[in-house]
Amino acid sequence: MTQWSPEQFSKVQLAGIETLAGLTGKAFEGFEKLLELNLQTTKTALAETREGAKKVLSAKDGKEFAELQIEFFQPAVDNVLAYRRQLHDILADMQAEFEKVVEVQYTTSKGQLQGLIDSAVSNAPTGSTAPLAAWQEAVKATTTFYESMQTTAKQAVQVAESSFNTAAEAASKSMPHRAAKASHVAAK
């Protein structure tokens, strides 16, 4: 059977360290973007809340009060949806970067494992081919299972994202309708 040389072992360890450093860097980049988004969103929300409160509190009557409240809440809904889209973009970028690394690592490991199995099979003593063939089949079954689970997980994420986007759009579209209804009730 083929033995790993110290150079091969060192090369694999160095590749693992480089991968970890790259992933850590990407995680920090994503964290920085997320922090910037949260800070900007908080600043904007505080400024808009202050201005909206001033307007609402200066209302002359109930109708104007209701209209100003509605005017205040519509941008808030839009801001929440904008925040959600930006958050999604940041997280999607991070996920894509991590998936690239995982895919490369998976492909590399799969190739190395297959090379090890092929080497073991070609150097196996007579009579040991049956256990090695069973081992090969187990590895193939595990690989197939992993790949099908990966596909299923990606599909589930897409369905959840689509459902959330549909709900967010419906909420955004219903806000003007609710505002008009509330304004009509306040006018009575």
Predicted confidence (pLDDT) per residue in 83-107, tens digit? 988 998 898 888 888 888 878 877 7
Confidence of residue 1 (pLDDT cuts 50, 70, 90): very low
- Give the pLDDT of residue 3: 58
**What is the domain count for the chain?**
1
Is 37 among the domain residues? yes
C-alpha to C-alpha distance for 108 and 116, rounded to whole angstroms: 12
Q: Would you state the structure tokens that stand for residue 32, as one six-digit string? A: 């920085």
More confident residue, 175 or 136: 136
Q: At a CB cut-off of 8 Å and minimum separation 6, what does 47 contact? A: none
What percentage of the chain has pLDDT greater than the value 70?
A: 86
- Mean pLDDT (the chain, rounded): 79
Q: Would you state the structure tokens that stand for residue 117, as one six-digit string? A: 């199995």
Is 1 among the domain residues? no
| Helix orientation angle between 129-187 and 62-122, rounded to the nearest 10 degrees | 170
- Give the pLDDT of residue 110: 75
Is residue 87 a contact partner of residue 174, using CB atoms and an 8 Å limit?
Answer: no
Alpha carbon of residue 143 to chain centroid: 24
- 18-55, pLDDT tens digit by residue? 888 888 888 899 999 999 999 999 999 999 889 888 88
Q: Tell me the CA distances in angstroms from 175 to 64, 70, 77, one per residue in order.
A: 18, 9, 8
- Give the pLDDT of residue 32: 95
DSSP, residue by residue, 97-141:
HHHHHHHHHHHHHHHHHHHHHHHHHHTPPTT-HHHHHHHHHHHHH
Residue 104 belongs to what domain range?
6-187
Is 91 among the domain residues? yes
